[in-house]
Amino acid sequence: MMKQVKIRKSDFHPVLRAFVYLMALVFTVLTLYPLLWLVISSLKTNTEFQINILGWPQNPTLNNYPTAWRLAKFDTLFLNSLFFTTVSTLVVIGLSLMAGFAFAKLRSKATPFLHGSFIMGILLTLQSIMVPLFLMSVTTGLYDTRLGVLIPYVGMGLPIGVYLCTEFIKSIPDSVVESARIDGASYFRIFASIVAPMAAPVAVTLAILNVSGVWNEFMLINILVSRDALRTLPVGIHKFSGALASDHGRQFAALTIGLVPMVVFYLLFRKQITKGVSAGAIKG
Amino acid sequence: MKRVIQWWTEERRAYLLLVLPAVAVYWAVMAFPTVFSFALSLTNYNGGPVFSNPNIKFVGFEHYLRMFRDQYFWISLKNNTLIILVSVFGQIPLGFLFAYVIHRKLVKFRGFFQTIIYLPCVISTIIVGRLWRSFFSPYGPFTEFMQKFQPGWENELFFDPKLAIVPVLFVILWMYTGTYMIIFLANLQKIDPALIEAARIDGATEWQVLTRIMLPSLSGVIVTASILAISGSLKSFDLLFAMTAGNPARRTSVLALYMYDTAFKHSPKYPLANAISVFMVMLSLVLILLVKLTEAKFGGRE
């Protein structure tokens, strides 16, 4: 038995093949060249950049990096990004698993309505509620506080989280829960020591989705926070590169610093990320 | 008393405690604002306390009429439409093409291409926007290249109101094609390889495999992708904010940016901004419904 039928060359028209390679090549160049240009430009002084836009620098210098780091306060930005990403991801995973367990394994007439409301949330565009969220955060006094950013971040991660967790926990056989009940375990005990550990794969998917979502989030935090001390990487980089638009070398150094964490994260977790993305793309 | 105890079972108590935190947070920051914004869009509320404020008056649909008379609303809506078109007719077909050739092993360097094509999606949109802004600017590589081919070429991409949206659309096409490639790839892998093998042994051509087996079994995914593309297009904000900020003369504005400018630039106009936000929610629902209806009419089997 053949493992896979060989595709004959004639099957795939040479013109089509050339077109596919061309497109793939175009996308590769479009991705790699600007990044390369960015890194090269970040090694130039401002004076050199103005006369030599494309070429390799005559006297490559790393001086832009420490200056950009200091001026844009990258240590604060990194710490804040780490804080918001970690806390919101942990909370989203916890709350989603809890609700998912209840929706999947506990009987209640409220489930279709409550679960359905989360599904609606997957389709809701966050951009369309930024003004009411801002007004609410001012009214409640949560404007410019860490909590005022964390709560929306958690709320924004919950729809997909609850959906994925419910689906996953449904696939755990009912008998697992029932036999533990017969042994006298409470629902919380069953959740904490049986269901939650079994749901580790979906927690990983959720972590990946949430980390990449929150780490790059810009719009909400830009609206809900004005203090320097609470800024995250995207906000800080945007403010910095806006203020120093003509200071090319430093601006490019700042952009490069901002690029590194996500690119490394992606190259390390490529498989999990692509799996998470396709799991997150559910039917509306 | 007895009946109350029976109703308040351990299961009900557990259910409530497990569900409550997620429901409370989600309803507070996602569901409530949607309703809240509709309520506010019908009033003249423009800052200050919301409750027991004697100055708040009900004004009906006044702000919606104002929105429809505003030229910037129409410019933004037009740009959102262009972005939807690029997404549905650009990103989805290209994403499918890449997924197909990678899945069927029709090209070399598959892992490399897959990694590179998806890479833009993981980078912060703000950084991508700033980078492309520099790239297309008069001091950027694009101008240099054009001037090599065409000496004396003037870069007016960011000044010409007609042209300004073109680089944005281009970047959007480049940026999100990878997402659809990943989605199609994951679903192509679900098709039973034995089915394709059997068809091939029976003498089916590659074209027949594509049109008779793969596309039909992906019809549901194509609908999902279209819904994602539409709601994703209405989400466009960060990229434009960083790349053009809606300029020149707000010609590259989109609805989200139009709402942001209305609410947070110059003197705030919250009622109008709320009307825009309600319009966006409605538009998204209507478009998704349309996709669903199209699916029901032309019925994919799944």
Q: What percent of chain B has pLDDT over 70?
A: 97
The whole-angstrom separation of Cα A216 and Cα A85 is 9
Q: What angle do CA A87, A90, A95 make, to 5 degrees?
A: 120
Tell me what the mean pLDDT of segment A72-85 comes to.
95
Mean pLDDT of A102-122: 92
More confident residue, B209 or A69: A69
**Minimal Cα distance from B113: which residue of A?**
A24
Q: Show the tokens assigned to A41.
A: 């430009």
Residue A76: is its pLDDT beyond 60? yes
Give the lowest-confidence range in A57-66, A105-114, A208-217, B291-300: B291-300
A36 & A152 share domain? no
| Number of domains, chain B | 1
Res A54: pLDDT: 82
B302 vs B189, which has greater pLDDT? Answer: B189
Q: List the structure tokens of B160.
A: 């010409």
Band (pLDDT 50/70/90 cuts) for residue B2 is low
Judge: A31–B117 Cβ closer than 8 Å, yes or no.
yes
pLDDT for position A274? 86
Same domain assignment for residues A158 and A42: no
Is B49 a residue whose pLDDT tops 70? Answer: yes
Question: Which residue, B100, B101, B301, is CA-closest to B216?
Answer: B301
Complex ipTM value: 0.88
Cα–chain-centroid distance for residue A269?
13
Please spell the DSSP secondary structure of A224-237, one letter per residue. Answer: H---GGG--HHHHH
A165 and A48 inside one domain: no
Supply the range of the domain harboring residue B185.
67-298
More confident residue, B82 or B51: B82
Boundaries of domain holding A46: 12-64
A163-202, pLDDT tens digit by residue? Answer: 999 999 999 999 999 999 999 999 999 999 999 999 999 9
Question: CA A208 to CA B121: how far, in whole Å?
Answer: 13
Task: With respect to residue A46, please indicate whether it lies within any of the assigned structural domains.
Answer: yes
Report the CATH number at residue B204. Answer: 1.10.3720.10
- Which CA distances in Å does B216 have to B24, B137, B178, B188? 41, 44, 22, 11
Would you say residue A2 has pLDDT above 70?
no
Cis bond before residue B216 (omega within 30° of 0): no
Could you tell me if A96 and A52 lie in one domain?
no
Q: In sequence order, what DSSP letters do the residues of A147-164 get, joined into one string? A: HHHHHHHHHHHHHHHHHH
B58 falls within a domain: no
Whether A12 has a pLDDT exceeding 80, the answer reads no
- Note whether A111 and A139 are same-domain residues: yes
Q: What's the pLDDT score for residue A156? A: 92
For residue A268, tell me if it sits in a domain: no
3-state DSSP assignment of residue B14: helix
**Region B279-286: what's the mean pLDDT?**
90
Give B66-110 pLDDT, tens digit per residue: 999 999 999 999 999 999 999 999 999 999 999 998 998 888 888
Asked whether residue A59 falls in the same domain as residue A77, the answer is no
- Whether residues A28 and A154 fall in one domain: no
Provide the number of CB pairs (under 8 Å) joining chain A to chain B: 295
Instruction: With beta carbons less than 8 A apart as the criterion, state whether B116 and A32 touch.
Output: yes
Of A132, A252, A274, the CB nearest to B118: A274
pLDDT of res. A8: 54
Asked if A273's CB is within 8 angstroms of B277's CB, the reply is no
Residue B254 clears pLDDT 50, i.e. is over it:
yes
Asked if the model's pLDDT at residue A7 lies above 80, the reply is: no
Average of per-residue pLDDT across A130-135: 90
Contacts of B25 in chain A (CB under 8 A): 95, 151, 154-155, 158
pLDDT range class, residue A11, cuts 50, 70, 90: low
- From the list A239, A223, A184, the residue with the least C-alpha distance to A73 is A239
Mean pLDDT of chain A, nearest integer:
89
B49-58, B101-110, B154-163, B257-266 — which is least confidently predicted?
B49-58
| CB-based contact, A270 to chain B, within 8 Å | yes
Q: Is residue B218 part of a domain?
A: yes
Of residues B52 and A14, the one with the higher pLDDT is: A14
Does the pLDDT of residue B251 top 70, yes or no? yes
State whether B225 and A252 contact (CB < 8 Å).
Answer: no
B62/A119 Cα distance (integer angstroms): 32
Per residue in B169-227, pLDDT tens?
A: 999 999 999 999 999 999 998 888 888 888 888 888 888 888 888 888 888 888 888 88
> Comparing A111 with B236, which gets the higher pLDDT?
A111
Residues B172 and B234 sit within 8 Å (Cβ to Cβ): no
Q: Which amino acid is at A200?
A: A
Residue B281 has its nearest CB partner, among A128, A263, A284, at A128
The counts of H helices and E strands in chain A are 15, 0
List the single residue in A with minimal CA-CA distance to B13. Answer: A187
B118 contacts on A by Cβ (under 8 Å)? 266, 274
In this predicted structure, the answer to whether residue A3 has a pLDDT above a threshold of 80 is: no
